[in-house]
């Protein structure tokens, strides 16, 4: 296992530099995964087109990542290393990820940090100049590299710089404000996409020798999530409709430390980074509906419930564990705040220990964000936080080469299902985007192109024309709708159903009911959708309607997958499968696999075998 990636690389075929320029790769999505893939492939001599639905790659959702990126460098000399990082990640994902992929993630992590430093990312440093590390959930070492609370932004600036270099060299064509509408598949091979120019509505055909999907995660299926408002599932869903398998759709992560929802008009929720839990302590009053201000509640009348239940990891337990524990205290009536759904995240002890200046130095921009939204200064009063949809471990199925089941279709970053199993550990996602985009894909995609050669299908061929016609028809149908429900109203209702029944915990009864409610909502979408505007200009309502249509189908698949998985693992907690003490009960015998759903409803199971680390029950006590 430990040398699998080295062996694999030795066996992967190469293409000579002179021939690479004749091959064309289309990358859909320009976040960290897509941009790093496009820059690296172009650097190697391939012709690359990259598209994003935003006006600049720099606005991709990756920009919002706050806390950091992991690397097994062991700079703190605290016992870290590749094996430990691999073991933490596999265990953190509750043994529902492919062992070899997880090992590679840890193995390549050091190279990723080196590359980012070389690109000029201003990581936090010690006084003497060495890179500084902090801890994230589910680990007992410090391996997270960070740039204050703006790590994603700084990484994206570095990667964007190398992408622009290739744009200026003419090796990359950058298309902004384009939305991929469909994948063109001929004889089981991806040969291009149909995209819509969002500014004036024109549909475009883009052919390619290989297509890379890097369109991020689908937490916005819940409407209110920590993701960017334009994050969506449409690109991966439309690949799924064309035959790509969708894996583990029910593995969705709720982040425990988000600012609670205040009203129905909100369009997103705001994350307060997990890094805060390095210094802050999570607690609730021991007495239900305690009306006193938090600083008036004495120590003896507080329950530091994570420290109490999980002394070994304390406030830095993994997200699924913290979110479930929060739900338990809230259900017991101990929640705080106007809605009674929040718990406190308190810096008082840390303020006494390291002082306010140091705290502001570490978390300044997060404090400012919190104060702007709530009007309270977290250095003086504890933050109020509650779990919110944040990250999706599910996505299009890929093999060890990041290849979907369709030839020449690759999926990278949060859009795939590869590395995080049933629960992602903090700071491992930025890492995955870079490992996939800059290190793994360039090698495996080269191999695939060496095997398949260029496509013989061109954008003027009937297959493209037919696909374009179907897209036009779909848009036309949507624009005819003159009902009384806006796409947002339907999305809001879908989000409520999913948060209630496919949220932090799930039950068979709730999931069946959710499927019925979603079927009704789909009916309403058909009969009562209210559309405005036309297809020949900027029409955000049309964009939204298309995405909501996909979310409705995806929401149903999430329920179906959650129903099928009769066990509790990671973020997937089935109420029927718990110990008398309320801990999740995994069933390795029957569910030690990745569930990969085909569009026709067939379930493919990829069995998970473990060589290096035998599955054990997770124990953070
Ligand atoms: C608030 C927040 C904080 C986070 N903090 C951290 C952190 O500290 N550490 C960590 O490891 N992870 C963190 N994460 C997770 C991490 O940011 C994401 O998983 C990661 O950035 C995803 O990158 P990506 O390149 O896969 O996708 P994205 O960055 O989401 O990029 C997707 C790209 O695809 C484009 N796109 C989407 N659909 C289409 C379409 N149909 N057609 C054309 N283009 C399309 C988008 O415009 C965009 O360019 C955080 C997430 C959130 C929400």
pLDDT band, very low/low/confident/very high, at 170 (cuts 50, 70, 90): very high
Q: Is 227 in the pocket of ligand 1 (CB under 6 A)?
A: yes
Same domain, 487 and 373: no
Are residues 475 and 381 part of one domain?
A: no
User: Across residues 368-377, what is the average pLDDT?
Assistant: 95
The answer, yes or no, to whether any atom of ligand 1 lies below 6 A from the CB of 68, is yes
What's the confidence (pLDDT) of residue 469? 98
Judge whether 428 lies within some domain. no
User: Does one domain contain both 265 and 385?
Assistant: yes
Task: Answer whether residue 421 shows pLDDT above 90.
Answer: yes
Question: What's the pLDDT at 265?
Answer: 84
Is 395 part of a structural domain of the chain? no
Do 384 and 475 fall within a single domain? no
The ligand 1 atom at the shortest distance from the C-alpha of residue 32 is 25
Two tokens, residue 479:
């624009």
Q: pTM here? A: 0.97
49 lines ligand 1 (CB under 6 A): no
Nearest to 6 by CA among 95, 104, 101, 91: 104
Mark whether 380 and 261 lie in a shared domain. yes
174 Cβ inside 6 Å of ligand 1: no
Neighbours of 20 (CB within 10 A): 18
**Of 219 and 583, the one with more pLDDT:** 219
Q: Can you tell me the distance from the alpha carbon of 430 to that of 426, in angstroms, rounded to the nearest whole number? A: 9
Q: Using an 8 Å Cβ cutoff, are 78 and 180 in contact?
A: no
Q: Which of 338, 359, 389 is the C-terminal boundary of a domain?
A: 389
The confidence score (pLDDT) of residue 42 equals 98
Q: With 90 as the cut, is the pLDDT of residue 148 above it? A: no
Summarize pLDDT for 381-409 with one digit per residue, the tens: 999 999 999 999 999 999 999 999 999 99
Atom of ligand 1 nearest to the CA of 59: 49
Ligand 1 pocket member 52 (CB < 6 A)? yes
| Amino acid 578: pLDDT | 95
Determine the distance separating the centroid of ligand 1 and the alpha carbon of 62, expressed in angstroms: 4
* Closest atom of ligand 1 to CA, residue 215: 34
The answer on 367 and 481 residing in a single domain is no
Confirm whether 319 is a catalytic residue: yes
Binding site membership of 62 for ligand 1 (Cβ less than 6 Å): yes
CA of 32 to the centre of ligand 1 (A): 7
Cα 174 to middle of ligand 1, angstroms: 18
Q: What are 583-621's pLDDT values in tens digits?
A: 899 999 999 999 999 999 999 999 999 999 999 988 888
Using one digit for the tens of pLDDT, what is the confidence trace for 435-463? 999 999 999 999 999 999 999 999 999 99
Residues 364 and 267 in one domain: yes
CB contact at 8 A, 75 and 389: no
- Ligand 1 center from residue 437 Cα (angstroms): 13
Residue nearest to atom 14 of ligand 1 (CA): 65
Q: Is 32 in the pocket of ligand 1 (CB under 6 A)?
A: yes
Task: Name the residue with the closest Cα to ligand 1, atom 44.
Answer: 52
Q: What is the pLDDT of residues 564-580, one digit of tens each?
A: 999 999 999 999 999 99
Residue 232 CB partners (closer than 8 Å, separation 6+):
215, 218, 220, 547, 550, 551
User: pLDDT-derived band of residue 191, with 50, 70 and 90 as boundaries?
Assistant: very high
Q: What percent of the chain has pLDDT over 70?
A: 100
Q: Of 354, 373, 389, which residue constitutes the final position of a domain? A: 389
The answer to whether residue 394 is domain-embedded is no
- Whether 2 has a pLDDT exceeding 90, the answer reads no
- CA of residue 404 to ligand 1 center, whole Å: 20
Q: How far is the CA of 432 from the centre of ligand 1 (A)?
A: 11
User: Same structural domain for residues 371 and 477?
Assistant: no
pLDDT band at 149; cut points 50, 70, 90:
confident
430 lines ligand 1 (CB under 6 A): yes
pLDDT at 581: 85
Average pLDDT, the chain: 96
Q: 475 and 382 share a domain?
A: no
Taking the C-alpha atoms of residue 32 and residue 436, their distance in angstroms, rounded to an integer, is 10
pLDDT for 323: 96
523 inside domain: yes
Q: Tell whether 38 is covered by a domain.
A: no
| Catalytic residue (choose from 20, 319, 351, 565) | 319
Is residue 20, in this structure, part of any structural domain at all? Answer: no
Answer whether 53 contacts ligand 1 (Cβ < 6 A).
yes
Q: Provide the residue range defining the domain that includes 312.
A: 255-389
Query: For residue 262, is pLDDT > 90?
Result: no
For Cα atoms 602, 394, 617, give the angle at the middle one, nearest 5 degrees: 100
Same domain, 373 and 487: no
Residue 263: band (very low, low, confident or very high) from pLDDT cuts 50, 70, 90: confident
pLDDT band at 19 (very low <50, low <70, confident <90, very high): very high
Between CA 367 and CA 199 the distance in angstroms is 37
Residue 237 lies in a domain: no
- Tokens read off for 489: 């109203």
Q: If pLDDT is split at 50, 70 and 90, which confidence band does 333 have?
A: very high
DSSP conformational letter for 16: -
The answer to whether the CB of 27 falls within 8 A of the CB of 51 is yes
Domain of 343, CATH number, reads 3.90.700.10
Total domains in the chain come to 2
Better-predicted residue by pLDDT, 278 or 203: 203
Domain for residue 154, yes or no? no
For residues 269 and 367, membership in a common domain is answered with yes
* Atom nearest to 235 CA in ligand 1: 41
Closest CA to 591 of 423, 421, 425: 421
């Amino acid at each position: 296992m430990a040398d699998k990636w080295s062996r694999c690389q030795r066996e992967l075929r190469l293409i000579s530099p002179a021939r690479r320029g004749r091959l064309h790769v289309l990358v859909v999505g320009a976040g960290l995964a897509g941009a790093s893939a496009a820059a690296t492939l172009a650097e190697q001599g391939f012709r690359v087109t990259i598209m994003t639905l935003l006006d600049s790659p720099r606005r991709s959702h990756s920009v919002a990542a706050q806390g950091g990126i992991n690397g097994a460098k062991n700079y703190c000399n605290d016992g870290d290393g590749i094996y430990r990082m691999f073991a933490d990640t596999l265990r953190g994902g509750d043994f529902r990820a492919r062992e070899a992929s997880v090992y590679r993630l840890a193995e390549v992590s050091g190279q990723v940090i080196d590359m980012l430093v070389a690109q000029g990312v201003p990581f936090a440093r010690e006084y003497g100049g060495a890179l500084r590390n902090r801890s994230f959930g589910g680990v007992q070492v410090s391996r997270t590299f960070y740039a204050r609370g703006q790590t994603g932004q700084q990484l994206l600036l570095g990667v964007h710089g190398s992408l622009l270099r290739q744009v200026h060299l003419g090796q990359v064509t950058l298309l902004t404000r384009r939305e991929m509408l469909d994948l063109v598949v001929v004889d089981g091979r991806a040969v291009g996409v149909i995209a819509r120019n969002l500014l004036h509505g024109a549909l475009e055909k883009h052919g390619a020798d290989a297509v890379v999907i890097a369109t991020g995660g689908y937490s916005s299926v819940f409407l209110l999530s920590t993701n960017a408002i334009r994050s969506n599932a449409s690109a991966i869903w439309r690949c799924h409709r064309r035959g790509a398998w969708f894996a583990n759709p029910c593995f969705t992560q709720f982040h425990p430390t988000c600012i609670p929802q205040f009203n129905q008009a909100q369009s997103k929720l705001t994350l307060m980074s997990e890094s805060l839990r390095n210094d802050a302590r999570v607690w609730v009053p021991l007495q239900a509906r305690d009306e006193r201000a938090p600083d008036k509640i004495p120590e003896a009348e507080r329950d530091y419930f994570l420290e109490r239940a999980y002394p070994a990891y304390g406030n830095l337990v993994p997200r699924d564990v913290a979110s479930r524990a929060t739900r338990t205290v809230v259900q017991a009536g101990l929640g705080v705040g106007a809605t009674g759904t929040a718990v406190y995240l308190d810096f008082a002890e840390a303020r006494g220990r390291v002082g306010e200046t140091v705290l502001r130095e570490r978390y300044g921009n997060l404090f400012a964000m919190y104060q702007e939204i709530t009007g309270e200064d977290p250095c003086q009063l504890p933050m109020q936080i509650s779990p919110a949809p944040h990250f999706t471990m599910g996505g299009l199925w890929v093999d060890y080469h990041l290849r979907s089941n369709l030839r020449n279709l690759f999926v990278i970053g949060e859009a795939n299902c590869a590395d995080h199993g049933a629960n992602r550990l903090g700071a491992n996602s930025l890492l995955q985007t870079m490992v996939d985009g800059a290190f793994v894909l360039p090698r495996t995609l080269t191999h695939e192109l060496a095997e398949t050669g260029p496509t013989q299908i061109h954008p003027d061929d009937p297959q493209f024309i037919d696909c374009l016609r179907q897209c036009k028809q779909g848009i036309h149908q949507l624009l005819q709708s003159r009902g009384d429900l806006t796409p947002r109203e339907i999305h809001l209702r879908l989000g409520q159903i999913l948060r209630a029944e496919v949220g932090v915990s799930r039950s068979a009864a709730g999931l069946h009911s959710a499927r019925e409610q979603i079927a009704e909502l789909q009916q309403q979408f058909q009969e009562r959708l209210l559309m405005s505007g036309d297809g020949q200009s900027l029409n955000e309502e049309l964009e939204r309607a298309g995405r909501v249509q996909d979310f409705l189908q995806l929401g149903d698949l999430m329920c179906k997958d959650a129903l099928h998985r009769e066990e509790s693992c990671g973020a997937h907690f089935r109420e029927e499968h718990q110990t008398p003490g309320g801990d999740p009960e995994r069933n390795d015998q029957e569910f030690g696999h990745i569930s990969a759903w085909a569009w026709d409803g067939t379930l493919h199971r990829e069995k998970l075998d473990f060589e290096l680390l035998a599955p054990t029950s997770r124990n953070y006590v």
